[in-house]
Structure 1
Amino acid sequence: MRRIAVLWIGLAFASAVLGAAAAFETRTSRLQAIKTVGIISAIGEEMSLTQAGLTGFGKTGQSASISAWGLDEFIVHQATKLLSGRFRVQPVSYRRVAFAAVRDSPVTPVNLLRSDPFKELVRSDVSPQGLDAYIVITRAKSKLGNGRNVEGVGLAEYRTLLADYGLIHALYEVRVIDGKSFDVIEKRAAAPLDNTATMRIAGPSGAVDATFDGPASSERLRAAIADLITRSLPVTLGDMHLLGSQ
């Protein structure tokens, strides 16, 4: 009986490995077939302020408009430069507010079997239709140290009895959606960057001073967010095998 059990375990493991390899091969072949892409960015036009730590509990989260930053336009521009080496990138129009309104996706491993909320939006709200694929860049979520959620672009203040810490974050994830079937071919959240921040979250972030004069009016914060995106986007797209001759 023990030999039979070991045999069954071995067969199950081999089946799982073969299934994963087949899924990877299918994704790879579908990515290789893509020639034309459109880029959609909808991280949003608000910046959140999260207060945490000994003096931060119980405070209502705040937000401020950053529409003047043109962040989504900046992301489309950066992604276009990176992807143009491999694909023909064509401009697309879309209702950004519809994509930004979806608040579904935590930073989790890719799950291509789960119904994805952006599939129908690409089918119904993007023009022109018929490109080989659409690259969709939207907010992602992560947990702060005390268990609070942070999402998208924001500034987190963490206070202790001895010190205050500030953390700027730009959390996003990238989907590749098939332009014909609207299946999600690949999905990945941007990973953390190497930094010396005291607080760490599952996505691009960096340390800043805890004091500020308002996130919407601070050029320093805008530049910090742009830097996070500039440094993390090529890493994320590279990990998804979307750059160069991959």
Structure 2
Amino acid sequence: MRRIAFLWVGLAAACIALGAAAAFETRASRLQAIKTVGIVSAIGEEMSLTRAGLTGLGNAAQSASISAWGLDELIVQQATKLLGGRFRVQPVSYRRAAFAAIRDSAVAPVNLLRSDPFKELVRSDVTPQGLDAYIVITRARSKLGNGRNVEGVGLAEYRTLLADYGLIHALYEVRVVDGKSFDVIEKRAAAPLDNTGTVRIAGPSGPVDEPFERSASSERLRAAIADLIIRSLPLTLGDMHLIEGQ
């Protein structure tokens, strides 16, 4: 009986491996067929201000407008430059607020069985239609330490008994949406650039000493957030095999 059980386990593992290989081959072939793409960026025009840790859990989250920063325009510009070596990138129009309003990340494990919320939005809200694919870049979410959820662009203070830590983050995820079926061919959340800090977060982030009061008006803070995006975007697109040579 033990031998039969081992055989069943081995057969199941082989089937899983074959299924994964077939899925990768299908995904790779679908990516290979893409010639024209449009880029949608909607990480939002607000920055979250979050306090967390031993003394901050009772504080309500705040937000500040950063529409003047032009982060979505920066992302489209950088993505166009990176993807232009492989695809023909065409400008598209879309309601940025509609994409930014979707708060639930379909990349999270709990949502893997749900229909991706951006599928219908690409079909109904992006023009022109008919491109081979649409690259959709939106907010992602992560835990700050063992406390609050944080998402998108933000500034956080994490307090312990011994010290306070300031952290900026630019959390986003990238989807490749088929321009004909509107199925999501590939999706990935941007990974951390450096995960060696005292307070870690699952996405591009870095230490900062900027106080909350001057956050949205700080050119230094805007430049630091832009740097996180500029440095992480080629790594994320490369991990998704969207950049030539990757």
* Short-chain TM bin: over 0.9
Alignment correspondent of 1:115:
115
Alignment correspondent of 1:78:
78
Does the 8 Å CA contact 1:44/1:139 hold for their aligned counterparts?
Answer: yes
Alignment correspondent of 1:58:
58
User: Pairwise mapping of residues 1-246 of structure 1 onto structure 2 (< 5 A)?
Assistant: 1-105=1-105, 108=108, 114-194=114-194, 197-209=197-209, 211-246=211-246
The separation in 2 between residues aligned to 1:110 and 1:63, in whole angstroms, is: 26
Could you list the per-position Cα deviations for residues 193-217 of structure 1 after superposition, in whole angstroms to 9, with x for gaps in the alignment?
0265321100000000152542210
The separation in 1 between residues aligned to 2:211 and 2:73, in whole angstroms, is: 28
Contiguous gaps of at least 5 residues in structure 2: none
SS in 2 for 1:217: coil
The separation in 1 between residues aligned to 2:112 and 2:178, in whole angstroms, is: 12
Alpha-carbon offset, residue 82 of structure 1: 0.3
Alpha-carbon offset, residue 3 of structure 1: 1.7
SS in 1 for 2:216: helix
Could you list the per-position Cα deviations for residues 53-80 of structure 1 after superposition, in whole angstroms to 9, with x for gaps in the alignment?
2321211100000000011001000000
Moved more, 140-149 or 34-43: 140-149
Moved more, 171-180 or 212-221: 212-221
The separation in 2 between residues aligned to 1:69 and 1:211, in whole angstroms, is: 18
User: 1:221 is aligned with what amino acid?
Assistant: L
Compute the TM-score of the two structures, normalised by the length of structure 2: 0.95
Q: Number of aligned pairs?
A: 246
Compute the TM-score of the two structures, normalised by the length of structure 1: 0.95
User: 1:194 is aligned with what amino acid?
Assistant: D
The percentage of aligned residue pairs carrying the same residue is 85
Does the 8 Å CA contact 1:110/1:187 hold for their aligned counterparts?
Answer: no
Alpha-carbon offset, residue 174 of structure 1: 0.1
